[in-house]
Amino acid sequence: MLVLGFESSCDETGVALYDTELGLLSHALHSQVEMHAEFGGVVPELASRDHIRRALPLTEIVLKQANKILKDIDAIAYTQGPGLAGALLVGTSIAQSLAFALNVPSLGVHHLEGHLLAPLLEANPPQFPFIALLVSGGHSQLMRVDGIGEYELLGDTLDDAAGEAFDKTAKLLGLGYPGGPALAKLATLGSAHFTLPRPKLNSKDLNFSFSGLKTAVLTLVNNNQPLTDDIKKNIAWEFQEAVTEILTTKCMAALRETGLDSLVVSGGVGANTRLRERLNAATKKKLCKVSYPRLEFCTDNGAMIAFAGAMRLKAHALQANNHEAAGAYAFSIKPRWNLAELTKP
């Protein structure tokens, strides 16, 4: 089964082709970072308009890369949520229109399920069951994963997510947008000089809280004016140490409490080098395994949506005539969508 996947939940347009027998054939991505940087963050209306411009040209690119044509496509997967409503509407409407024109089945995919399953695209994918750390955008969650659609929420953020804390701290340090990668880069130049709190580090649950850490950074910034380059580097270093220590500690606690020995890390923060160093060391010490998607699949991309859709469509063994009924291509979006609500295919 050849599946075309569309990702358009926020500020990146991703398109990919995944074959259930041959694997990932091609993928293409357009990032809107440069456009939004002028405004210091994502402007939803501009994001939606840009998705309209990019989706079909990217589709042509992935088809050409894979030496395929539209008629070769057996099914279409698209991000149904969560995400920006306008951006989701663009991707969903394009995907459903193509599915209708080609008379093939289509499937709305949960954005976080795409991230969660992204490591399975690698040459040596993790085996079920495993613990998943999802650190993508406004989400910081620990899940037990027993199979496709078999997800148990173990821990969640009570306020800010790790990615949000990175971006907000970067803004406090005047690093611009996107803040997370800039802060991580600056942190490599810093050293131990300040001390920041580790919220919920030693709590008995697996939840996260990063709002207080962000507020502590604000206090540190206000108390160290003028904010020199050296001060910025050292605050960035300490902030990154605090976040990665919390995430690593919670991951190891989840493995210990469930008795599992396999950890998967997905989402943009999963690309953080310091986090990977900590998790690699901690899992090696406890004789556990840790898996990551390749760096290009940590951030939003079409490959993870095509793959997640393919896994569900394959399980359903859907054929084109499943969608011949009137109204079969009606659609809706889910800007807010709890991953734990998903069921087995």
Q: Kindly tell me the sign of the dihedral angle through the C-alpha atoms of 333, 121, 342, 209.
A: negative
The span from the CA of 342 to the CA of 264, in Å, is 19
> Does the domain made of 2-116+298-341 have the CATH classification 3.30.420.40?
yes
Is-contact 76 106, C-beta < 8 A? yes
Domain 128-292 has CATH 3.30.70.20: no
Residue ranges of domains in the chain: 2-116+298-341, 128-292
pLDDT per residue of the chain (345 residues) written in tens, 0 to 9 = 999 999 999 999 999 999 999 999 999 999 999 999 999 899 999 999 999 999 999 999 999 999 999 999 999 999 999 999 999 999 999 999 999 999 999 999 999 999 999 999 999 999 999 999 999 888 999 999 999 999 999 999 999 999 999 999 999 999 988 899 999 999 999 999 999 999 999 999 999 999 999 999 999 999 999 999 999 999 999 999 999 999 999 999 999 999 999 999 999 999 999 999 999 999 999 999 999 999 999 999 999 999 999 999 888 765 433 444 445 788 899 999 999 889 888
- Which of these, 245, 151, 116, lies nearest to 192 by C-alpha position? 245
Q: Do domains 2-116+298-341 and 128-292 have the same CATH topology?
A: yes
Cα angle value 190/193/199 (rounded, 5°)? 95
Residue-level pLDDT at 202 = 93
Cβ(327)–Cβ(29) below 8 Å: no
